Amino acid sequence: MENILDMNIMELRGLLKNGKISSVELTRFYLDRVKKHDQAVQAYLRLTEEAAMEMAREADRRIKEGEEGPLLGIPFGIKDIFCAKGLETTCGSQILKGFVAPYDGTVIKKLKERHYVHLGRVNMDEFAMGSSTENSSYQTTRNPWDLERIPGGSSGGSAAAVAAGLCVASLGTDTGGSIRQPASLCGVVGMKPTYGRVSRYGLVAFASSLDQIGPLARNVTDCAVVLEAIAGYDPMDSTSIPQPVPDYTQYLGKEIKGMKIGIPKEYMIEGIEPDVKQAVAESLSCLEGLGATLVDISLPHTEYAVATYYIICTAEASSNLARYDGVKYGMRVEGKDIIDMYKKTRMKGFGKEVKRRIILGTYVLSSGYYDAYYGKAGKVRTLIRKDFEDAFAQCDIIATPVSPTTAFKIGEKVEDPLQMYLSDIFTIPVNLAGLPGMSVPCGLDRAGLPVGLQIIGKPLDEGRMLQTAFALEKERKVKSVPDRFRS
Amino acid sequence: MKINKDVVEYVAHLGRLELEPHEAELYTSQLDRILEHMDTLNALDTEGIEPTSHAVPVSCVLREDISRESLSVEGSVSNAPDRKGSFFKVPPVIEVD
């Protein structure tokens, strides 16, 4: 059974179809693994064991009747930010404790239509605000490669669960790097698609002009298969793009000869760990060896991205999070009048980082400061977008590190929010420009911690990114699932 | 100093947050450093540049005015911390003598 961890969804589908394994067995295999290993990793907030077994039995019935589908009977762990009818959705926050979603969001609906198996809900930074999953109000998830270290964030539960082999794949969200950074730090594949490629209906909002849903998986093939299942236009999300979804798997295995890969000089900043630099450089040589051409490019406004991002995302968050007022759902703390009730509820219900961002966002939007901060950031965002447009005139894709460092120690950066924000320097510009970006494992540092390569594409060019990532994966053969979780 | 404790407390009030005294102090020093970093944007000349509010151009999306199933009343109020029938219950908003 253990080599199941190394199979991709296509291979699993073959086993399911031929009756070599049933979805019930596959689901039991993963549930048993969660029970055995999750005490160490703490990726799961809640298991939905009964529902999972029922979904698996239903999948088996359908497989027997000859039904085919890429996700039929495949077990997922889902970030606790997606509304699924009848399931608790806390977003890592006390303020939503006990909130039971009354409807299915679009991505959940799509997965249900494909008869996936929902194993449970995985941990995240509260309201997806954070880079380490330490801002979850429930538990501290650990990096499977070193349990003293953070898994990255905000989709840290997703990345850790996939890396430790506690599900086949996961859905995460990425506002400033929240899929790519934990994917990189946990050695898994993670993709943030083009803004608008995947519907956000039923996703608990953080910063609406930046949030995007995407897959985390142990290999590029699974990433492609899951992306194809969740992508597409949705009338319930007015920002979703009305373009057909290509067959992403057709890009896998296509050669990358002649592809022009842009290397931005501004990303070679001080503070990149030498081992990260080396793993990235080796991967680029590897791609060059496969016939790609490396092109020097410039993204001159990179150094302004973090400031721009934290103005825009906190502004949008302060507005989006106004809905948690102790009236419609979640927690309420009584007060002497309604305003007092709001204030006490929000004081008790939100964690430190969320409050910090609400205050910051309210400040940058407040009269007298609006032009200097929010107004200015919107203009700089235009410049950052234009940087990428100019760069893509010279190359097909862009390659960079995902994170300047490998996974840091638990507690190392919690007291210094600015330091934590600056660790997102390479992922944030992609969200500001609305581009697709992914992380693919490209090596290990000398301590054995994973390093990810970021591949950035033109709008809606996810296919070419997957093509490149697949080529690299085949050559570099970076191990997934650390040894201690192999048993 | 870009920001002081009074401003933090006022902004927290606007954001409907009550802060403990030690929180207000902590946030003041942290936000001060963050705002200082944000001021690096002032080095850029953005005269005449149109702001981007959305990464992809978003226009007003219209649909046919056809009624369809929506969330049930029970579904809407089922998570309320306090309710009366199909209504959300809140503390008095208007003072009555």
Chain B residue numbers touching A322 (CB-CB < 8 A) = 16
* 3-class DSSP state of A33: helix
Mind listing the pLDDT tens digit for each residue in A228-239?
Answer: 999 999 999 999
CB contact under 8 A, B82 and A332: yes
Write the DSSP symbol of residue A135: T
Q: How far is CA A241 from CA A235, A313, A385, in A?
A: 10, 22, 18
Mean pLDDT value across residues B60-86: 92
Chain B residue numbers touching A335 (CB-CB < 8 A) = 91
CB contact under 8 A, B19 and A331: no
Chain A residue numbers touching B58 (CB-CB < 8 A) = 238-239
Q: Which two tokens stand for residue B40?
A: 């690096």
Query: What stretches in chain A show pLDDT beneath 50?
Result: none
Query: A97: closest CA among B79, B12, B72, B14?
Result: B79
- Supply the residues of A annotated as catalytic: 79, 154, 178
Give the pLDDT score at A420: 81
Interface of B with A in 64-83 (CB under 8 A): 71-72, 75-76, 78-82
User: What residues form DSSP beta bridges with A372?
Assistant: none
Strand A189-192 relative to strand A437-444, pairing: antiparallel
Looking at the complex, report in whole angstroms how far the Cα of residue B48 sits from the nearest Cα belonging to chain A.
Answer: 9
Chain B residue numbers touching A209 (CB-CB < 8 A) = 53-55
Q: Does B23 touch chain A (CB under 8 A)?
A: yes
CB contact under 8 A, B46 and A383: yes
Of A310, A366, A431, the CB nearest to B11: A366
Q: How far is CA A410 from CA A91, A132, A143, A424, in A?
A: 21, 8, 9, 17
Q: Which two tokens stand for residue A214?
A: 């995407």
Mind listing the pLDDT tens digit for each residue in A434-459?
Answer: 999 999 999 999 999 999 999 999 99
Q: Give the C-alpha separation, A342 to A329, whole Å.
A: 12
Q: Is the ipTM of this complex over 0.90?
A: yes
Q: Is 0.90 topped by the overall pTM?
A: yes
Phi-psi label, residue A469: left if phi above 0, alpha if psi -120 to 50, beta otherwise: alpha
Give the pLDDT score at A125: 98
